[in-house]
Structure formats: structure tokens, C-alpha cells
Structure 1
Amino acid sequence: MDTLIDAAALKDQLDRAGESGQRTVVLDVRWALGDPHGYDHYLRGHIPGAVFVDLATELAGPAEPARGRHPLPPQEQFQESARRWGISDGDAVVAYDDSSNMAAARLWWMLRNAGFRSVRLLDGGLAAWRAAGLDLAAGAEQPEPGNVTLSEGAMPSIDAGQAASCGQRGLLLDARAAERYRGEIEPVDPRAGHIPGAVSAPTTGNLRADGAFLAPAELRERFERLGYRAGVPTAVYCGSGVTAAHEIAALEIAGLSAALYPGSFSEWCHNSSNDVVTGAAPYSENAASH
């Protein structure tokens, strides 16, 4: 199944919607850490017909230490949101943002996890649409409610207990910036560093300079260099389970698979019994439990 669609193909798909018989629902997931103004950005300019999705309230439940900063919302709540965005069974969905799909991948993963298979990311995000010289629309879209039926558990995931041993029995990738992995800075969580055994694999390494994903062969080479091997359990985490979904998408583009740790580091580090490692190595003799 395709993970990506480019701007020209999306424009053609939207123009030919009446001919194909399949509706395309375009969703704008404008969100970035430290920028709470995604909806304002959307109102100023978005892909025509795109519906805004609020990551903080529609793709996450309330933050709580035991589950992290962006815990997955209940399945019933997510289905209600998806219907409000206008998604019906049989539709195709394309998600994008203005940050190289770092936020939109969260929606992609959640829909796939909910059993909705026809969902793709706009490769390069809104920047690619602009670069193609395509029109933007202003204001808010008001879609007709959809009737989609969603489930859960269709994508592999792990919990904190499994994350604790993942580095020993398989490969645990940390998708955050390298300086956060090393514990040099930590802008939001109470402890700095990484889960013992994790390998640093920043999501920025999945991208070309223009914000589009690297070619499948390049991505495969990257993940094999990081330690990916067929038959070896692989999982990904980040700060709160958002950008880790971008890494899952990159792995899929490469023809590989991995589980997501939804609670990620924000869940892990709040539990004082969990060790946190600083430095560039997966393990350290100086793991900090407090």
C-alpha cells in the first residue's frame, strides 16, 4: 500500500474526484512543538477543501504523567473526530502539515492503526504544494459529517515494559533530535537523556533538503546502518509519540516495519523507577534513575 502521494498526483486526484467515484478527504495537521497557532496558519492558507485537525485535542487525550504528553485518545473519540472531518468508509485520505509531515504522520499512523488503510501523506507537505505553484484557500472548511467505522490495534505498538527490554532483544530507535537523546537539552520533559539501549535516529535523517522523504533505497540503507535486521524486533519512540510516527512511515517507505511506543519518553521519564541514560551511547554505567 502506498504511504505517500506527491503534490501533482494529489491535485489530479482532487480534480478527477467525480470520475473515480472515490472521495478524497484532505486533512491539515498544522502543529509544531512550541507553536500553538496551527489553526491560525491554516486559516491564512491551506490546500482547497482541506479540513483542519487539531493534534493536541483530536489526536491526543489529556496529558498525564502515567501516559505521556500526548496519549492516544479512546477509539470512540477518535472515530467521532474522523466523522467530523468528513471521513466515510471507502474514502481516500491525504494528510499534510507545514513541517515535513512530522505532525501529519501522527494522523497517518492513527488511521492505519484504526484499520483505515487508504491514507497517505503528502510528500513534502504544504511546502511541496506551494513549490508546485498550486492555489491555497483561506478561511475554514465545513465538511459534511462522515460515517467511517474505526477499530484499533491494526499497527504494532509496545508499552513501557516492552520498551525496557527492546534494546537488548531487538532495536529501539529514538526519533528525537540528537541533543535531546544525549541529554544535552530537554525543553519539555522533567529528565533529560534516553531509554537504555536506544539508538539515536532523528527523524530529520529521513528527509531530503526540501522536506520530502528520501528514496526507499536510501531509507533502507539508513535504517540498516542504524541496526535494522530482518526478523529483529524494532520499535520507535520520540518525546510524546508524535514524530516517532514519522519514523514508522519512513520505515514503511523503505519496505520495513516497526512498532510504535505511544507513551514515548514523556511517559518513560515520569516513572522514577525507569533509568534514563545520557551521552551518545545506548547504554551507560551512569544511568540516572532520578
Structure 2
Amino acid sequence: MDILTGMNQAIDYLEDHLTEEIETKELAQLAHCSEYHFKRMFSSLTGIPLSEYIRRRRLSLAVYDLKETDLKIIDVAVKYGYRSADAFTRAFYAMHQVLPSHVQRGEASVVTYSRLTLHLKIEGGISMKYRLVEKDSFNIVGLKKRVAIQFEGVNEEIEKLAQRITPEVADELIELSNVDPKGIINASTHFSEGRMEEQGELDHYIGVATTLDTHHSFDELNVNAGTWAVFESTGPQPETLQNTWGRIYSEWFPTSGYEAVEGPEILWSDQQETDQTEYKTEIWIPVKKVID
């Protein structure tokens, strides 16, 4: 079973149980993948976190109950998992910008959030160059900062972190670099739940991959042994790189037979290129084979 079919089966189950407690573990089992990969894939393919999708769908179904049934507001609130009418009213207003009592009396109209069906979208028949690499455990050693998630433009916090990598610090780090990807790398990990809505934070490292005992004052991230999918991106930056990131989750993962596992996502850039608008980059993502 491909991951997209499994994801749609999970959504079918979710839709049938919106008035019940929904465990991510159950949805992931239906999709034949880990909870971590399920949440990442769901957010990547839909653009919203799983928890937000469930919230929107419940509050959309609540509109029907308010309009078409004799249920009291507190009954509708309890039906969709709210402990009080006040909590339900606040959530309902935040989404619909009207009070549930106004909808119940027919004094307002709302726009509901429809259920999703996921489809694979491949544009232009452009090939994606990648390779699979088996790696022993290693460390990422360098400087770390917790930063806001930001898709476009210059992330000022990461820029400030990069400014701390002086030529002297870079030379010291490069001396420690003894495993691929060689040289200075960027790595992001420990993402907040709202990553795909450009919300929350992540830990960002600028440093090197190494197996050496450092005994330095740098920040250090231990990385487990495993399989990595390495994707090449060559072209105008940052547009090409952002496009590659999107295609990895919307095209490669749904059909590859692999799923993402917890661990840092690494970005390596060819520092030797002279044209810095079109330099070669590699995206390293830890993965494992999906077991049907």
C-alpha cells in the first residue's frame, strides 16, 4: 500500500469518529507508518497540523447541528469534545467570527471547512535526483539557537547565529569534520507541531558532522545510525531549494516506500561555487523503509 492510500484511509476513519477521542496512533496504523511520519506527512500535504484539521472539521459539523437539530449549545459543545459552552463558544467564534447562538437562531451565515481527500500532484514531469545513504551514528557539533519557523525571506535569528561563525570558528569546526556531509552544515530539529503553518520554533544548528571526541565548548547533537535520503538541488536560490523541499513531501515520500523518522534535517551547500545564486545544495533527511 502506498502512503497516500493509507493517509486517505486514515482520514476516512477520522471523519467517521469526529465525535470521539481520536488517537494519532490509530491513524498512523491505518496509514501504515509511524506517528511521527503521519503527522509530518499530513501537515505537509494539507498545509495544516492534524490537530487543527480535527478542530476545524468538528466546528464545521457543529454548524449543522446548530442549524438543523434541536440540540442545545451545551449539548453540541459536549458532542464535539468541549467541556463547557463557554469554551465551545470561544472556539466557534474564533473560527467563524459569529456566535453559535446567532447561527442557532438563523441570524448569521458561516463558511464551513470541508473534509479533505489527498491526491498526488506532480508538475512538469521534472525528475528528482536523490540517493540513499547508510550512516553510522555521529554528532553535529557547532552553534545552536532556538528560532522561529519561517518559510520565506531571511530568518534574522539564523542570520545572527551565522554571524557568530567567524573565520576562526569555521576553521576550528572544519578541523572536526570527518564524515559526510563534509564541511559547514545547517541542521534543523525538534520542530513545533505547527511547522507547516509556519508557526512555532525549531532548534537550528550551524556546525559540522563528526565522530571525533571534541572536548570543545560547542553545542552538540547526537544523531543515531540509520538511512538518509539525500536530495540534490541546483539552481537559483532560495527558490529552487524551497521548491525541492516541497516536492520531497508532496511527491517523493507518498510514492517512495520510505517514511521520515525523528532526527535532524540537514542542509549542505557547495561552498566552492563562485555563482552564489546557483550553487549546489543537498538536503539530508533521516528515513526508514515502510513495512506493509
Normalised by the length of structure 1, the TM-score is 0.25
Higher helix share: 2
Normalised by the length of structure 2, the TM-score is 0.25
Higher strand share: 2
